[in-house]
A and B are shown apart, each in its own frame.
Chain A
């Protein structure tokens, strides 16, 4: 999905006053998801009481005030993503996600509310049962922040609590980059006597794992432009792959020379699928551009 998330600094909350005994948290980070295709600032009518089933209203309207959080009627989140996109507006605004018990979990702002909700639904379906939506007219950053602040203030005044998802340090609702796996190590260390020849370790590794990339440097910080490009391609294919750092002299000592002989291939990176050498950066790039990689990974 083509949204990116920007964490707001603590500024929106600084002026927030809470009548509760709880001191306001020092930092609350709502997510700001900007749609890649920004729509012109269409003034949309606020969500009505009935779930939005039809196409999104197109008629521009003079700016209407944002409804209170309590006045806004929650819309249930359907499991089907097509239905979800029909039910929620792809416009900018504030939204409040509620769990199965009607408890407020998170208040966020978004440049594409439907896309943001779809994302939350995918990552935490159990917490996304219904959502209240307030479309913001002329949604510049200040207006969006103001809308978020007013809903947050209202909720905190009423309950004395910050929605759990908005608490400092809670990252449930912020789009996270996928957790990077550690690189695989072939040996327990340079000074340990190997009981199995390195060739066999390589052989086992590439046959036991669907996709293996032997690269220079780690997958999180490749040390060579060709390795970096290969990692980029594998990441963008969304394929689950293992990586081995051939420059790791401590845990992969001697791997470079042994692997060159094993594959009869003199350079790195080297990418294996199902135990077979697919090639280096040139071949991966060329297959990626021709769209041949996804079928290779699926087999």
Chain B
């Protein structure tokens, strides 16, 4: 597995809070599962995951499903995106997270770039 260069401090903080609040739960949070799934399938060199579910707390679909972690901002840099359209890049992300989308993950805001696109010019 490639090293993850940049972590979002906010995510780590929010993860820590969640871990603490669910100390008894052995299961990884959704944010954690998203991270490991994207990491392994896309070999991301940068992977920022931000849980923004709180911004959608009143959202009807969210209330219905009862899921707590529903909305995420995801920024991925991966060489697997090279030569691919935005639609295909997003599909790669959605495919990797198909199980999550079936189990209450409601929306992803995706920024998908290639290493070249984020390289300083």
Interface residues of A (CB under 8 A from B): 223-226, 264-267, 277-283, 286-287
Of all chain B residues, the one with the shortest Cβ separation from A224 is: B59
Contact yes or no, B60 A223, CB < 8 A: yes
Provide the bound-state CA to CA distance between A266 and B91, in Å. Answer: 9
Number of B residues near A (Cβ < 8 Å) is: 16
Are A279 and B60 CB-contacts (below 8 A) given A267-B107, A267-B108? no
Of all chain A residues, the one with the shortest Cβ separation from B74 is: A282
Contact yes or no, B91 A264, CB < 8 A: yes
* CB-defined contacts of B110 to chain A, threshold 8 Å: 282
Contacts between chains A and B (CB distance < 8 A), count? 33
Interface string of B62-75 (1 = CB under 8 A from A): 00000000000000
Task: Describe B's contact surface by its main secondary structure.
Answer: helix
Give residues of chain B (72-108) contacting chain A, Cβ–Cβ below 8 Å: 86-87, 90-91, 94, 98, 101, 106-108
**A286 → chain B closest CB, angstroms:** 7
**B103 → chain A closest CB, angstroms:** 12
Q: What are the 7 tightest A-B residue pairs by CB atom distance, in nearest-first order?
A: A266-B101, A283-B86, A266-B94, A279-B87, A282-B110, A267-B107, A282-B109
Interface residues of B (CB under 8 A from A): 56, 59-60, 86-87, 90-91, 94, 98, 101, 106-111
* CB-defined contacts of B90 to chain A, threshold 8 Å: 265, 279-280, 282-283
**B94 → chain A closest CB, angstroms:** 5
Provide the bound-state CA to CA distance between A287 and B98, in Å. Answer: 25
Contact yes or no, B101 A286, CB < 8 A: no
Contact yes or no, B107 A226, CB < 8 A: yes
**B44 → chain A closest CB, angstroms:** 17
* CB-defined contacts of A280 to chain B, threshold 8 Å: 90
**A116 → chain B closest CB, angstroms:** 41
- A selection of 18 A-B contacts at a CB cut-off of 8 Å is A223-B60, A224-B59, A226-B107, A264-B91, A265-B91, A265-B94, A266-B98, A266-B101, A267-B94, A267-B101, A278-B87, A279-B86, A279-B90, A282-B111, A283-B86, A283-B87, A283-B90, A287-B86
